[in-house]
Amino acid sequence: MDSGQRQRAEDEMGTWCCHGLRCRKIIETIQEGVFEVDLHRRLRFLNQRTAEILGYAADEVLGQPVFRFVVEEHHAKIQEKLDLRSQPEGAKEPFELKLRGKDNTEIWVMASAIPPCGAHGEQTGSLLLVDASAHRRAESERAQQDRLRGLSAEILRIQDEERRKLARELHESTAQMLTAIDLNLRRLYDAKAGDAPERDLVAETILLARQCSSEIRAMSYSLHPPLLEELGLVTAIRVFADMFRERTGVEVEAKITSSLGRLDHDREVSLFRVVQEALSNVHQHSGSPRALVRLEKDCQAVRLEIQDQGRGFPDHWIESVGILTMRQRVGRFGGQMEIRSSPPGSTVSVVLPLVEPDEEDAVAGG
């Protein structure tokens, strides 16, 4: 090599050193992790962010084999990605990588192979790291929430099916037997025409049997209102309101928009159960002599309100099992429920979308 060629080589090396130093100074200021390995796959450089991701001090990591900080099942992947010379241009897409940090903690990162800042041949590759642990946790939490929502929906479905079976048994068995008892008591009453004390006893028993029959009919309807399936939510709420007034003395006014029409079965069941639970709490806790059920629908959602004029609900009621179940029924469809409770009255408000969030995305995408 003549003196001119040597000079040009020295100039090129000096230029590279200058650029490499400048590159490393920039790398130290960014929020992503960056590290380099040498030909023996040992860490020859890492910025402060990489040390933070791994949980080590930089001097604890330098010179160590990179595989020490990568979980075993990802060793082949990082071996491939670090060998930049074997990768064609355009084949350096980001990939998920699980690192092993201090105290054996596992850390998910998104990694990208980047061109080395050093001279040609001095190291085989570098990686840019973005800590993906929070993203992974969020994904895991979303998956868990989806599973819980699915489980909750299945529990509610099973619960409604059991209610349907119990209502059928009450209606077809217990109520029929009470009717037979009532008929027999009527015959006994007529046979005791000349015995006033015994007739009075039989008459009192007849009244008790009829009250029991009425309670069972109301219970059967509450467990599974047949009109909900046959005629829809509007009729089911109006009939339930009348029966509720007869049983509790609480006057219930139902204001339902005439254009409501039929909804899908699951939404009708959920809204009906919310009305049931809310009115039951009005009777048990609020002391209100009347309640208002308002049900409206527009092109996007159904809006339900149950209002009373009572003393408000106790604090523990807001966290009761009944309220939790109401929220689960509403949340199943991406709906919202709000409770405002303070004298002189309380309001339970529900907004139930007519299209679930994932259905909206599908419609928008189509």
**Which of 7-16, 47-56, 136-145 is least confident?**
7-16
| Same domain membership, residue 299 and residue 241 | yes
pLDDT at 148: 74
- pLDDT, position 189: 82
Specify the pLDDT at position 351: 95
User: For tokens 């009717």, what's the residue?
Assistant: 179
- To which residue do tokens 């109301």 refer? 218
| Pair of tokens at residue 3 | 């003196």
Residue 258 lies in a domain: yes
The stretch 240-265 carries a mean pLDDT of 88
| SS3 category, 173 | helix
Percent share of the chain, pLDDT over 90 = 13
Rounded Cα distance, 308 and 252, in Å: 9
Q: Is 113 helix (H, G, I), strand (E, B) or coil?
A: strand
Residue-level pLDDT at 259: 77
Same domain, 167 and 288: no
Q: Do 63 and 197 share a domain, yes or no?
A: no
Asked if residue 8 belongs to a domain, the reply is: no
Same domain, 255 and 365: yes
Residue 293 has pLDDT above 90, yes or no: yes
Most confident of 17-21, 83-87, 308-312: 308-312
259 and 207 within one domain = no
Give me the CATH number covering residue 34.
3.30.450.20
Asked if the structure places residue 56 within a domain, the reply is yes
Q: Two tokens at 95? A: 């990939």
| Same domain assignment for residues 354 and 231 | yes
248 and 285 inside one domain: yes
Mean pLDDT of 221-240: 84
Query: Average pLDDT in the 123-130 region?
Result: 67
For residue 87, what pLDDT is reported? Answer: 52
186: its two tokens: 């009527």
Residue type, 324: L
Residue 274 has pLDDT above 90, yes or no: yes
| Secondary structure (DSSP) of 309-361 | -SS---GGGGGSHHHHHHHHHHHTTT-EEEEEEETTEEEEEEEEESS-HHHHH
Question: Which of the residue ranges 244-248, 257-261, 328-332, 361-365 would you say has the lowest mean pLDDT?
Answer: 361-365
1 lies in a domain?
A: no
Q: Beta partners for 8?
A: none
Q: Is the same domain home to 56 and 151?
A: no
Q: Closest Cα partner for 263 from 226, 301, 225?
A: 301
Query: Taking 90 as the threshold, does the pLDDT of residue 178 lie above it?
Result: no
- Cα 159 to Cα 151: distance, rounded to the nearest angstrom: 12
Evaluate if residue 195 carries a pLDDT over 80. Answer: no
Which whole number is the average pLDDT over 200-219? 84
Do 194 and 320 fall within a single domain? no
**Domain end among 107, 131, 155:** 131
Based on the domain organization, do 156 and 105 belong to the same domain? Answer: no
How far CA 162 is from CA of 168, 223, 227, 269, in Å, comes to: 10, 9, 18, 14
Rg for the chain, CA atoms, rounded: 37
Tell me what pLDDT residue 222 has.
74
The winner for highest mean pLDDT among 75-79, 208-212, 249-253, 286-290 is 249-253
Residue 359 has pLDDT above 90, yes or no: no
Range of the domain at 52: 13-131
pLDDT at 172: 75
Mean pLDDT of the chain: 78
Phi-psi region of 37 (alpha: psi -120 to 50; beta: other; left: phi over 0): beta
Count of structural domains within the chain: 3
CA distance 361 to 342: 38
Cis peptide bond N-terminal to 344, omega within 30: yes
